[in-house]
A and B are shown apart, each in its own frame.
Chain A
Amino acid sequence: MLQILERVHNAVNKHITSDGTQFRSNIDVTSETPMLMVIREDREEFPILVTASIDQILCNTVLFDEKQIKETRQIEINEMMLQLNMAMPLSSFAKTGQYYSVFGALATESIDKNILLEIEMLSDNVIDALEVMNPFLI
Chain B
Amino acid sequence: MMGFLTKVWTALRGVGHETEGVFIDAQGIRILEQEVRDAKEAQVDAKESLTDVMAEQLKMERQVDLTRKNLAEYDQAIRKLLAQNNEALATETAEKIAEIEVDLETEEMVLTSYNEQITDLKVTILESDKQIKALEREISIVKSTEAAQKAAELTAKRFSGSNSSLQSASDSLQRIKERQQKRKDKMLSARQLLKETSGTDLQDKLITAGVIHNKANGQSILERYKAAENKTT
Indicate whether A10 reaches chain B with its CB closer than 8 angstroms. Answer: no
- Chain A residues whose CB sits within 8 angstroms of the CB of B150 once the complex forms: 31, 33
Asked if B168 contacts A62 (CB within 8 A), the reply is: no
Say yes or no for B155: interface residue by CB 8 A criterion: yes
Which of B17, B155, B175, B179 contacts A47 (CB under 8 A)? B155
Q: Which of A51, A55, A58, A130 contacts B169 (CB 8 A)?
A: A130
A78 lies within 8 A of chain B by Cβ: no
Given known contacts A97-B149, A127-B176, A53 and B170 CB-to-CB distance under 8 angstroms: no
**Tier of interface size on chain B:** 35 or more
B20 touches A54 (CB 8 A): no
Chain B interface mostly: helix
A130 engages B173 (CB within 8 Å): yes
Given A42-B180, A55-B137, A137-B169, A62:B152 Cβ within 8 A: yes
CA distance A53 to B140 in the complex (A): 5
Q: Which residues of A contact B15 (CB under 8 A)?
A: 97
| Contact digits for B148-159, partner A, Cβ 8 Å, 1 yes 0 no | 111110111001
Complex CA–CA separation, A137 to B148 (angstroms):
23
Contacts of A52 in B (CB 8 A): 144
B142 to chain A, nearest CB (A): 9
Establish whether residues A68 and B168, one from each chain, have CB atoms under 8 Å apart when the complex forms: yes
Q: Which residues of A contact B21 (CB under 8 A)?
A: 97
The smallest C-beta distance from A68 to any residue of chain B, in angstroms, reads 6
- Cross-chain pairs A/B with CB under 8 angstroms, 17 sampled: A33-B143, A33-B147, A35-B151, A37-B151, A37-B155, A49-B155, A51-B144, A55-B140, A56-B140, A58-B148, A60-B151, A60-B152, A97-B20, A127-B176, A130-B170, A134-B173, A137-B170
